[in-house]
Structure 1
Amino acid sequence: MAWVVGAGGFLGLLAIAVGIVTLRAGWILPTARRHVTRPRLHGLGALLTGASALLQSLLYFGILPSVSWDVRFFGGNAFLFAGLLLIALSQLLPLRRNRDYADPSGA
């Protein structure tokens, strides 16, 4: 069981790294570039999703002070679902359009 939680913690670290790179540089993974219309939302969603996985693994291994099972369960799920919602919104919301460039004819 420990290797499963360890792998989840490692994937959480990777998701946090991707979220930081997305927020800082606007870089999106090549598999998601075509779908993402709002990179900042995608980066925040990756951060929250990665934080959920990392916190669950740190609590499992006893690195962080122990909290009750209910707090771990509901807190981890809240982070996870908030992150997934932001990732979904980053792909479903339309592109932002600037009014100055909406009409190229200048009329």
Structure 2
Amino acid sequence: MAWVVGTGAFLGLLAIALGIVTLRTGWILPTARRHVTRPKLHGFGALLTGASPLLQSLFYFQILPSVSWEVRFFGGNAFLFAGLLLIALSQLLPFRRNPGHADPSGA
């Protein structure tokens, strides 16, 4: 069972690293690059999504003091769903238009 939790912790750290890279540089994985219109929202969503399995693994390995299972369950789900919502919004919201710049279509 520990290897499953360890794998989740590794994937959580990977998502957090990708979120930090996205926030600092604006770089997004090539598979998502075409769909993301707001990189900062995507970065914050990746941070929250990665925090959920990482916190769950820290509780499992007793690195953090244990809290009730309700707090772990609902807190982990809140982080996960908030991150997924931000990632979805980063793909669904339209591009921001700056009125001072010309239209890229040339019309």
**TM-score normalised per structure 1:** 0.94
Gaps of 5+ in 2: none
Q: Match of 2:36, as an amino acid?
A: V
SS at match of 1:97: coil
Cα distance in 1 for partners of 2:40, 2:103 equals 26
- Letter of the 2:70 partner, please give it: D
Structure 1 position 103, deviation (Å) = 5.0
Q: How does 1:21-100 map to 2 (within 5 A)?
A: 21-100=21-100
CA distance in 2, matches of 1:84, 1:52: 11
Listed as ranges, the gaps of 5+ residues in structure 1 are: none
Query: TM-score, structure 2 length as denominator?
Result: 0.94
Measure how far apart 1:100 and its partner are: 1.4
> What amino acid does structure 1 have at the position aligned with 2:73?
F
Structure 1 segments, 4+ long, off by >4 Å, are none
Q: What residue identity is the alignment partner of 2:100?
A: D
C-alpha distance in 2 between matches for 1:59 and 1:103: 51
Instruction: Report Cα offsets for 1:23-76 as digits up to 9, x if no partner.
Output: 000000111000000000000000000011100011011111000000000000
